[in-house]
Every structure is written in C-alpha cells, then in structure tokens.
Amino acid sequence: MSRRDLPSRVSGLALITVVLLAPAFMNVPQTAIVTSASCVALVALGLDVLVGSTGQLSLAHAALFGVGCFSALGLGTHGAPWLLAFAGAAAMTSLTAVVVGLPALRIRGLQVAIASLAFQQFAQQIPNKWDQVKFVGKTFDPPSYLAGVTSQYYLGVALVVGVLLVLAGLRRTRGGRSLLAVRDVEQRAVAFGVATGRTKLFAYAVSGAITGLGGALFALQQTSVSDTQPFILRESLLLVAIVVVGGARSPIGILIAAFATKAVPGLLAPQFGSGIQLLIPVILAGVLVLSVVLQPEGIGGVLRGLRDELGAVTERPVPRPLATDPVLAAARARSLREVPRPLTQRLPVPALLVASQVSVRYGGVVALADVDLEVRRNEIVGLIGANGAGKSTLFNAVSGLAPTTGSITYRGRELLTAPAAGRSARGVARTFQDMGLVRAETVRENVLLAQGWMAQYPAVTGMLALGAAVSTERELRHRADQALELFGLEHLADERLGDLPYGTMRIVEIAAAVASGPDLLMLDEASAGLTPEEAHALGDRFRALRDELGLTLVVIEHHVPLIADTCDYCYCLESGALIAEGTPAQVTAQPRVVESFLGRGTLEPVG
C-alpha cells in the first residue's frame, strides 16, 4: 500500500466502523431518519452517473425516484417478494430513464435539462390528476425480518455499499471510460471506438436503475405513500445541489452532502426545535454558493486535497518522457501488434489507404475539394500545408468525423460506409490537433480509453467484475504499460494528464494511439509543444514504429526538418486542394509549395 493510499484506507475503516455501530447509539426515529437519507443518497449517486460521468444535467430524478417507489409498491402490494419488487423497480426506472434520455441523442447542454424538466413536470401530475392510476395509498408489507427500523437501516447501508462497488467497477472498466470520453471529448470519442449515442443511453439506464433502488427502499420503509412531495421539482433541484456540493464523481462527497441535507436536520430537531427545518434551505443555499466560489469540486475536492496533502511524497516524477532507445523499446513492445482483428479484413493490397475524389463541404464552405492520395504499407507519409489548408479535415474524413463524398478505401474495402466508431477496430488510429484525450484522468486511463474497441465484454460484466471483463482489463492494462514504456512515460502512468506539460501530453496521445493496435497511425501535429531535441527524438520513434512494429504513419507537421528526416513521401494541400506530391525534397523545392506553406520565396534545403 502506497503512502498516498494510507489516508483513504484509514478514513475508510473509520467510516465503516461508525456506520456499523450507529444504530446502537440512535433511537428508532433517528434510525428511520438516517434510512430515509439513504434513499436520497442512492438517488443522488444515480444522478451523479449523468452529471459527473457524462455531463448530462437531469432535472427529473425526483420523478424517477417516484417511478421506483410506485413500481415497488405496485409489485409489493400484489404479493411479489421484496427482492423481486426491488428488481422490478430498478428495471422500470431504468427503462423510464432511457426514454427520458432519448432527446440527449440529438441535443446537448441546457437543452437536455429542459427536456428532463418537461418529464418532471408531467410525471408529478400523474398521482394527483389521473384517477385511474391509484398510486397513492398503496401498502407494501415488508417481510418480518425487514419490518424493524434497524434491519431497514442495514438494508439501506447494504444498497449504498453495493452501488458504490458497482460504480467503482464501472469507473475501472470500458463503460466508465466511455462515459468520460462522452463528457469531455464527445466529438472525438468515436476515434476510440465509443458509440456516443449508446453510451449516453447506457448512462441513463444505470442512473435510472440506481435511482429505482432508492425509490424501492423508500417504499419498503414507508409501507404506503400518501404524499407526493418527495417526487416534485423542488426535490429534483435539491438533488442537483447535493451532487454539486458533494462534488461530481465523488461518491463519498455526495453521500456526505446527502446525509447532511436529509438526515442532520431531523437528528438535530429534538435539540434545536422544528425551526431548524426552516433554516435548512437558507443554509443549503449558502453552502452551495460557498462551494461553487471556494471549492468548485465540492466536498469531494476538499477530500482529495486532504488526501494528497496527507499522502504527499517528497519527490514527484519528472513530467517529461524518459530518454529511451526507441528501437529497443519498440522491439520489447512488439506484442502491441497482436490484436484480435478479423482475418477477413487482412487483404493483400499494396496500398493501405487510397483516397479518390474526396471532398468535404460544410454548407457553402469547401474544406476539401476532390483530393486524391495513396498511402502504401510501411511508409511514413507527410502531409503539409498552411493553416486551414484542409489537413486535419482529411484526417476527419478518414475517421468519420466529417461529411465526406468520394471514396476512401482501407485494406481494399470502402471505409466511408463503415460507422465512425467502428474504424478503430479496422486498424485506424489518430491523434488530434488540439488534444483528444481526457485531461481530468490519469495517463494510464487515457491509454486504456484508446483501447476501448478491444474490450468486447458487456459493460454490465465490467461493473460486476465478472470473468471475461476482469481478464480483458488485465490484458489491456498490460498493453497500456507496454505502450507507456515504449515512449518513456511509465513513471507518469498515475499522473493526471492535465497536470503535465503540453508537449508531454502530446506524447501520451501518441502512446494511446499506438496502444490501440493500429495498422495506420495518423498523427496531427505531433511535435507541437516539443523542444527541437524532443522533436528529433520523435522522428526516431516514428521510424522505430515503422521498422519494428510495422506501422504505416501519416504525419501532419509544420516542422519541415521533421518531415524531411522521417517521411518517405509527402503531400501538400492548399485551400482544400492537393497542389504537390513526391519526396519531401521534391515537394519542398516547388515554388508554389514554398509560397503557400511559408509565405516566402525561399526554403532552407532539406534532405
């Protein structure tokens, strides 16, 4: 156990002790209050799956809480065992949440919140307006061993702990990484094999299931519901405040905020009178404002800060890649080429990628105009041109991120008909001009994200840590470590990507792309942010990737010496059109290229 982990372990053991012994120090009403707070905590954890992991703001979780509660009541009052009632409530709420989330496939940001608000407003009217739906007044008779408040308290604890374990499993596996990619780099997530639409609906499904468990626990505890106040819009807004104050993606912080909001007022009422209930909205508003101003990451941010202070190490790793022999490192990492790509895609064609009459138009703007180029196997191909020439647009066309006409064949098969999220599985990987990784996550997690297409197990098996997911994740982590070692980044594996210098982040992005097991590696301004010495070393790594790993590279680059030293062939674009091709020396010697690329009449000799 590392020194950094020690504070978390100690505080965790202390928390477990307090939770297990708490009923011995509370009376029956107090225990019931804490159990009710557990219901709200479950709903808040479900909401955080959307807010924290995917950036989707829902204002309908109080209504979903009601769906879970009334679903459990409906099953329980018809004789269903409580376990079946809980499972049915989770399933029904999950399905409802997916329906609520459907608009998120076409809209973003506040529009998603408004769509969920519409459902909240509609749903909270059902019990009061629809006489034929007799939700209110139903009775859920718990079994004898769950009739006592103490047993219900421990059931609430078990549910919360179970949800925490499931969420921890989600964060460590493909599903959780896909959610973060949708949150932070949605437009580029498809380059990692992430189907953004399915990922969003998966998030809504998980969020709804957890919320449904909270509703089922509430139904079991209350046995009947005569008041719909817990399910109205005000409670949805309170749930959002709990997540913000607790800290998005901080389950412990959210639990603290939930219990402080829902349990503490009731526990303090006997000592301070019912007036404390009137002060809670004022206190919560003040805490919310202070949290946003002083600590935007909420209670979770405070806890992380304390953990880092208490577990701080005297020396931090140098935030630059280590010097390595690229040839030897690539030789050790040859297993990165062992990927489970279908044999039917391995066609013996000399040209790996062929673009014919490729055009990209955005309305009336022509970004690419009838571009033809060919990339042969085991070549390093340079792509040069001034800013706005269409270089990144060509990469976007190959990746499926741009509306493209014409033809792009890869391994002899048409690529434009393949879904964008499926192109990484065919062997196409790329980096982006302005960083396509998740800066809030660690270096290793970002490399794992790029290997998403290799994790073919269902997301649920990852959440539950079942066999196939565990073995696959173990293999992917091994591959990630190999890729980091290849680029001298192994000492930075657990560092947050956003804390590293920009040049180092660029190297991490290349390592992530290589880890995804491509045949074609497309690098967009890979040397940006690097020193001249680092750029020269990068050229050596490019050659090692080609010679030792058998990769084919297409490199967008403004650093002409790097193009001259490493590329076998070169293309130059101007205003979306191809104006020159040949060896780097031939292309950079053409007057039109010199004028277009550098804006002057001479160019230093290359070669």
| pLDDT tens, position by position, 568-595 | 999 999 999 999 999 999 998 898 888 8
Cα(270)–Cα(252) distance, rounded to whole angstroms? 27
- Is pLDDT of 562 > 50? yes
Order of strands across the sheet that contains 404-410: 365-376, 351-362, 404-410, 413-414
User: Between these two residues, 60 and 223, which has the higher pLDDT value?
Assistant: 60
Roughly how many angstroms between the first and final C-alpha of the chain, as a whole number? Answer: 53
- Is pLDDT of 553 > 90? yes
User: Between these two residues, 294 and 454, which has the higher pLDDT value?
Assistant: 454
- 137-151, 175-189, 376-390, 437-451, range with the lowest pLDDT: 137-151
- Is pLDDT of 304 > 90? no
- 332-341, 374-383, 583-592, range with the lowest pLDDT: 332-341
- 34-43, 92-101, 589-598, range with the lowest pLDDT: 589-598
What DSSP character marks residue 565?
A: H
pLDDT at 275: 64
Please indicate, yes or no, if residue 589 is contained in any of the structural domains.
Answer: no
User: Between these two residues, 205 and 344, which has the higher pLDDT value?
Assistant: 205
pLDDT at 201: 95
- Is pLDDT of 518 > 70? yes
Please indicate, yes or no, if residue 60 is contained in any of the structural domains.
Answer: yes
Tell me if 41 sits within 8 A of 258, measured CB to CB: yes
pLDDT at 459: 87
pLDDT at 600: 55
Please indicate, yes or no, if residue 154 is contained in any of the structural domains.
Answer: yes
- Average pLDDT on 276-303 reads 71
pTM > 0.85: yes
pLDDT at 437: 92
User: Between these two residues, 286 and 481, which has the higher pLDDT value?
Assistant: 481
Please indicate, yes or no, if residue 468 is contained in any of the structural domains.
Answer: no
Going by C-alpha positions, the residue among 196, 168, 167 that lies closest to residue 183 is 196
- Is pLDDT of 96 > 90? yes
Cα dist from 181 to 53, 113, 166, 186, whole Å? 9, 20, 19, 6
Buried b (16+ CB within 10 A) or exposed e, 117-154: bebbeebbebbeeeeeeebeebebebeeeeeebebbbb
- Average pLDDT on 105-125 reads 90
Cα(178)–Cα(183) distance, rounded to whole angstroms? 9
Which token pair is 496?
Answer: 């947050």
Contacts of 498 (CB under 8 A, 6+ apart): 439, 440, 505
pLDDT at 602: 46
- Is pLDDT of 128 > 50? yes
pLDDT at 3: 55
DSSP 154-197: HHHHHHHHHHHHHHHHHHHSHHHHHHHHHHHHHHHHGGGT--HH
pLDDT at 357: 96
Strand 569-574 to 577-582 pairing: antiparallel
Average pLDDT along the chain? 87
> Confidence band (pLDDT; 50, 70, 90) for 603?
very low
Give residue 96's domain range. Answer: 14-228
The percent of residues in the chain predicted with pLDDT above 70, rounded, is 88
Cα(449)–Cα(444) distance, rounded to whole angstroms? 9
pLDDT at 248: 87
- Is pLDDT of 607 > 50? no
Tell me if 253 sits within 8 A of 241, measured CB to CB: no
Please indicate, yes or no, if residue 313 is contained in any of the structural domains.
Answer: no
Tell me the β-bridge partners of 408: 355
Going by C-alpha positions, the residue among 143, 168, 142, 150 that lies closest to residue 19 is 150
Strand 351-362 to 404-410 pairing: antiparallel
Please indicate, yes or no, if residue 183 is contained in any of the structural domains.
Answer: yes
- Average pLDDT on 388-416 reads 94
Cα torsion 452, 455, 457, 462 to 10°: value is -70
- Is pLDDT of 62 > 90? yes
- Is pLDDT of 139 > 90? no
- Average pLDDT on 129-140 reads 56
Please indicate, yes or no, if residue 268 is contained in any of the structural domains.
Answer: no
Going by C-alpha positions, the residue among 66, 75, 76 that lies closest to residue 97 is 66
- Average pLDDT on 289-303 reads 74
- Is pLDDT of 539 > 60? yes
What type of residue is 65? F
Tell me if 512 sits within 8 A of 483, measured CB to CB: yes
Task: Please state at what angle helix 298-310 crosses helix 6-21, rounded to 10 degrees.
Answer: 120
Please indicate, yes or no, if residue 469 is contained in any of the structural domains.
Answer: no
Looking at the 3D structure of the chain, how many domains does it have?
1
- Average pLDDT on 224-243 reads 87
- Average pLDDT on 245-273 reads 85
